[in-house]
Amino acid sequence: MTFSKTQQRYLQRHALSGPWTLEGVQGDKYRGAVVIPALAEGEVLWATLNTLLSQSGGWPDDWLVVVVINAREDSDAQQVDSNLKDLEQLRRGRFAPAPVSWVDASGGGCRLSIKRGGVGMARKLGCDLVLPYLADKGLLVHLDADCRVEDTYLTVIEDYFTRHEGGGVLPYCHPLPTTQPFRAAMICYELYLRCHRQGLQWAGSPYAYHAIGSTMVSTAEAYVKAGGMNCRQAGEDFYFLQQVAKISAVDYLEGTVVWPSSRISQRTPFGTGQVIAASEEDTLQQLYHPATYAVLRDWLRTATEHPQETSQQLLERAAAIDTVLHNFLLKEGFAERWRQLCRTHGTIERRLRAFHEWFDGLKSLRCIHALGETYPVAPAVEQVPRLFELWGWDACCDLEEALIQLRRQDLSWLAEGDAAFLLD
């Protein structure tokens, strides 16, 4: 195995040390790898692998699938036993001769710690262990064990990265449950995801992408430059993509769709599974107020259009936009940070880039939350018509129809006759 200098530095500083190894790997230079964390999945995992390996033209020998069978030290015996059965299936060559490898992070002495164990660490394990096996310009693709992908999945990814670098996210659609109240819960949650991304895009934020782990793609180089995957039990996708966006960009791929599961799950502190589990009417996902995106847009425009001004002048402009925004910037230490940026970055271009690295996706979200004191969150049935009006779209009060419109917006590359699943 050979390592680039960037990989060497990454492995020295950030890679996990422990008893874990990559089993079942045959080659030494793959064009890319699809990393899949799995916890007590069984038939769900096999279904995902079957759809993944059924690519148009067949699965290429120089693309590796890495399944990270993981459990924490406090996982129950049933989960550990299920993991053992999954490992046995993989070791018996269930998917041979396809290039499927695996990591045992569930057996004795290999389990993940209670403090750091979770989907973030599982993703990191798979990526870090496969890095030495990737060719120059290799790709790292993230998927979950309960997803469906289309037979165009790999072709779209490869085609995109022949022309681009950095990272990206794939289009997605959650399968909608057929029974209530789960269907309503899923619709409201996906409306929240799509409306938030659309709101950030309308506001001019460079962090306007969805943060769904099973849709993430990056070059190996972008992965290591971003410091690799973090070890969070949830939200690892948000923080990883934010780091990639800061060192390059996170773009939106077109031409295929990932179908994340809508199943009930308690495995992470938040996310799709928790939303579906809490599907009573008073626990449906609420949406941010349109005014918060309007304030964010005004602030980002102000910083972009007046980068030569002092921090005091910019704070005065912020106060004229919204008092809560002004107070938020003071609390976040904007004045000192802006003075530092002006001292460090002589050109406007570099100064603005550094500003957006500081006022990142997390700070934008915290700003929206602060503005929520004045403009509170509300149910989708109230916020969606207001958001559509803000964006200059035709009014829509029916939530299913609103979801169709948002999906069509994000899947604009689809031919008219190919859109049957806009409300699957």
Mean pLDDT of 34-46: 97
Place of tokens 């406007």: 348
The band of 421, judged by pLDDT with boundaries at 50, 70 and 90, is: low
pLDDT at position 395, please? 86
Query: Does residue 17 carry a pLDDT above 90?
Result: no
Query: β-pairing, 100-105 with 134-142?
Result: unpaired
Report the distance separating Cα 66 and Cα 123, nearest Å: 10
The band of 58, judged by pLDDT with boundaries at 50, 70 and 90, is: very high
Q: What are phi and psi for residue 70, nearest 5 degrees?
A: -130, 155
Within 101-152, where are the H helices? 119-130
Task: Determine contact, residues 123/145, Cβ cutoff 8 Å.
Answer: no
Mean pLDDT of 9-23: 83
* 250 CB burial (10 A radius; 0-12, 13-18, 19+): buried
The band of 37, judged by pLDDT with boundaries at 50, 70 and 90, is: very high
Domains annotated on the chain, with CATH? 5-172+210-256 (3.90.550.10), 290-371 (no CATH)
Q: Measured between alpha carbons, how far is residue 44 from residues 82, 126, 147, 186, 381 in Å? A: 12, 19, 9, 20, 33
Helix (H, G, I), strand (E, B) or coil at 380: helix
420: which DSSP letter?
G
Task: Determine contact, residues 141/217, Cβ cutoff 8 Å.
Answer: yes
Report the distance separating Cα 351 and Cα 347, nearest Å: 6
pLDDT digits (tens, 9 = 90+) for 336-383: 999 999 999 989 999 999 999 999 999 999 999 999 999 999 999 999
Q: Measured between alpha carbons, how far is residue 386 from residues 124, 194, 402 in Å? A: 40, 15, 12
- b/e per residue 193-227 (b: at least 16 CB within 10 A): bbbbbbbbbbbebbbbbbbbbbbbbbbbbbbbbbe
pTM, 2 dp: 0.92
Q: Which amino acid is at 363?
A: K
Structure tokens at 48: 């995902």
**DSSP structure string for 44-66:** HHHHHHHHHH--TT---TTEEEE
Structure tokens at 412: 């604009």
Report the distance separating Cα 199 and Cα 406, nearest Å: 12
Query: β-pairing, 134-142 with 216-219?
Result: antiparallel
pLDDT at position 281, please? 55
pLDDT digits (tens, 9 = 90+) for 208-222: 999 999 999 999 999
**DSSP structure string for 303-344:** HHH-TTS-HHHHHHHHHHH-HHHHHHHHHTTHHHHHHHHHHH
Place of tokens 């179908």: 259
Mean pLDDT of 281-297: 91
Report the distance separating Cα 261 and Cα 218, nearest Å: 22
Radius of gyration of the chain (CA): 22
Report the distance separating Cα 65 and Cα 90, nearest Å: 12
Q: Which amino acid is at 88?
A: E
Structure tokens at 100: 């499927």
